[in-house]
């Protein structure tokens, strides 16, 4: 396989703790692994740094253990001539190991969403719109991000949309995202709540088997596929019931219903007492329908490291087979840096096969 070697020369990695870079002249970066996803689950990152031992003073040499400690802001940059940020969050845990091979310090990091977990103190959201509620809940973790972006459709930006009950802040926002069909994820350096990023991306990169695809797998699975989703609600004042139905959107290829006609007759019925108007029912039905449809065609491809790719971008694969070639949506990214160089594994999906 032939790669464009000039484009991928000299991969670089930078680890920044509270804004200061861990200098490679003082420490050796053994490995970095970054996991990014379109789901509401917090992104993760693990990095391992080799340390020397100060025999004279019986301690780990330098100030590595002071610099790399839980609670500090962590930023990972990967790339070539100008490395770019691929992860921003905080150090959640630190492990240290002493072996015959030396000393290794491994830090496990999460993005800011991890700090929302477990905080379930009761809050009053009376007379507050959804966007205001989300912004207030995200404010305490803003310092571990590059900013917060909340964009709620005006029709969905209602007062008291959902009771928090015993949900922690993280679970509550995740439920709001599902109810409105929004994404709740990291978008670059920003913590983002807004329009589903899997529906807004454009073509970012093209890859060709035999040229720059190291490995490729794809699976088509009918399990979990449905033909329609109907969401029922009722008006709070009149108790009049209403409903909205969503079906899979078309595109290049066949939907699950077109692959198997029986799927077309399968429907999912939902009644939610927080749905108080038809627009909300429509958004929730479309959200549930897309959640099912996007699992029809999934796969992964490993390529040489590409820090420019982002969740929601589209990639095009070619040179595989006419039934496989085409555009897919990036749903996850895994960047790895170590002795094997800089590699990126692209997780992809689409609603048609």
Give the residue extent of every domain in the chain.
1-110+201-220+297-353, 116-198, 228-293
Q: What tokens appear for 344 in the block?
A: 């990126």
Residue 167 binned pLDDT confidence (cut-offs 50, 70, 90): confident
Residue 169 binned pLDDT confidence (cut-offs 50, 70, 90): very high
pTM, two decimals, is: 0.93
CA angle in degrees (0–180, nearest 5) for 246-249-252: 170
- How far is Cα 300 from Cα 98, in angstroms, rounded to an integer? 36
Which pLDDT does position 47 carry in this prediction? 98
Query: Sign of dihedral through CA atoms 201, 203, 207, 212?
Result: negative
Q: Is the pLDDT of residue 25 over 80?
A: no
Domain 1-110+201-220+297-353: state its class.
Answer: mainly beta
- How far is Cα 75 from Cα 19, in angstroms, rounded to an integer? 8
Which pLDDT does position 263 carry in this prediction? 95
Please enumerate in sequence order all residues whose Cβ is within 8 A of that of 319, keeping only pairs 6 or more positions apart, or say none.
208, 209, 210, 211, 213, 325
CATH 3.30.310 fits 116-198, yes or no: no
Q: What tokens appear for 229 in the block?
A: 């989703």
- What are the tens digits of pLDDT across the range 114-148? 999 998 877 667 678 889 999 999 999 999 999 99
Q: What does the DSSP 8-state code read for residue 116?
A: G
């Amino acid at each position: 396989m032939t790669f464009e070697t000039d484009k991928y020369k000299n991969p670089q990695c930078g680890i920044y703790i509270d804004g200061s870079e861990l200098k490679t002249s003082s420490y050796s970066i053994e490995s970095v692994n970054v996991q990014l996803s379109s789901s509401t689950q917090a992104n993760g990152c693990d990095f391992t740094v080799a340390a020397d031992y100060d025999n004279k003073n019986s301690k780990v040499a330098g100030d590595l253990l002071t610099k790399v400690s839980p609670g500090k802001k962590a930023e990972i940059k990967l790339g070539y001539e100008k490395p770019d940020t691929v992860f921003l969050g905080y150090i959640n845990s630190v492990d240290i190991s002493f072996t015959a091979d030396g000393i290794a310090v491994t830090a496990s990091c999460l993005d800011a969403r991890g700090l929302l977990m477990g905080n379930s103190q009761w809050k009053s959201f009376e007379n507050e719109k959804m966007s205001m509620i989300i912004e207030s809940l995200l404010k305490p973790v803003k310092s571990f991000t590059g900013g917060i972006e909340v964009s709620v459709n005006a029709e969905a930006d209602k007062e008291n949309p959902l009771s928090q009950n015993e949900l922690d802040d993280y679970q509550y926002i995740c439920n709001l995202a599902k109810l409105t069909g929004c994404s709740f994820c990291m978008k670059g350096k920003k913590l983002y709540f807004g329009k589903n990023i899997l529906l807004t991306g454009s073509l970012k990169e093209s890859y060709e088997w035999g040229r720059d695809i190291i490995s490729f797998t794809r699976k088509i699975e009918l399990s979990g596929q449905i033909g329609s989703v109907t969401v029922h609600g009722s008006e709070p004042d009149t108790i009049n019931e209403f409903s909205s139905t969503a079906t899979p959107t078309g595109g290049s290829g066949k939907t699950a219903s077109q692959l198997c006609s029986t799927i077309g007759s399968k429907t999912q019925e939902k009644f939610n007492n927080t749905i108080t108007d038809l627009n909300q029912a429509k958004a929730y039905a479309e959200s549930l329908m897309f959640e099912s449809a996007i699992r029809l065609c999934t796969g992964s491809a490993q390529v040489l490291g590409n820090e420019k790719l982002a969740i929601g971008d589209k990639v095009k694969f070619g040179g595989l087979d006419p039934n496989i070639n085409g555009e897919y949506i990036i749903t996850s990214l895994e960047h790895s840096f170590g002795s094997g160089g800089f590699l990126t594994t692209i997780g992809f999906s689409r609603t048609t096969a």
